[in-house]
Amino acid sequence: MKKQLLSLFLLPLLFSCSSSNYQEDKRKEVEKYIDVSTEKISIHLEETYQLEVTVIEEYTIVFYSSEDESIVTVNETGLISTVDLGTTNVIVRGGRDTFIIPVEVCRVEPVDSLQIVLPRENFYIDVDDEFILPISTKLGNELVEATYAYEIEDETCISIDKNIVKGLKSGSSKVVATAKYNNEEVRKGFVVTVY
């Protein structure tokens, strides 16, 4: 009789312990609570962007915040609204996961505006070598024949004559190109490094 009574007392205790261990094991298996597929966002002023967040672990609550609400705000559903030009980060949190997403808010350029086109912002050259600067100018979507002038920060490092860049000595120099076309003018900066 004592053995039966003892067995009846220990049996529920045994099951409650194994149930508790199961819950602990289940919690240890969770590696990811949420996933955000967006790594970087670039949007125009006065636009919005909806973040897409996948909830992996059931019952995970997702929180959104902006590091600088003078640039963008983000609501409880992940809708980003622009406030001003600039860059900041939007932070997405869920469970133990945190994602930091860089956001750039840029100006909307009119479709018919004049713009300088360069394939990159950094160019590299050896001392005494030269290259033709791959610069062009567009008005809207069409290439136009513009005239160019260059402001060189360090004229001992490079020279530019008729879009030909020559390396004079080792170093780097910032350059601002000015394109003129039909009484319009546009400027764009780039860097030339000489080895």
Domain formed by 114-194, architecture: Sandwich (2.60)
The whole-angstrom separation of Cα 43 and Cα 10 is 64
pTM: 0.46
The pLDDT confidence band at residue 173, using thresholds 50, 70 and 90, is very high
Neighbour-count burial for 79-114, b at 16+ CB within 10 Å, e otherwise: ebebbeeeebbbebbbbebebebebebeeeeeeeeb
**19 pLDDT more than 50:** no
pLDDT in tens, 25-79: 445 566 889 999 888 999 988 899 999 999 999 899 999 999 999 999 999 999 9
Strands 122-125 and 184-194 come out as parallel
Tokens of 164: 């030909």
The whole-angstrom separation of Cα 3 and Cα 142 is 95
Tell me, yes or no, if the two domains 34-106 and 114-194 fold the same way.
Answer: yes
Cβ–Cβ < 8 Å for 56, 36: no
Domain formed by 34-106, architecture: Sandwich (2.60)
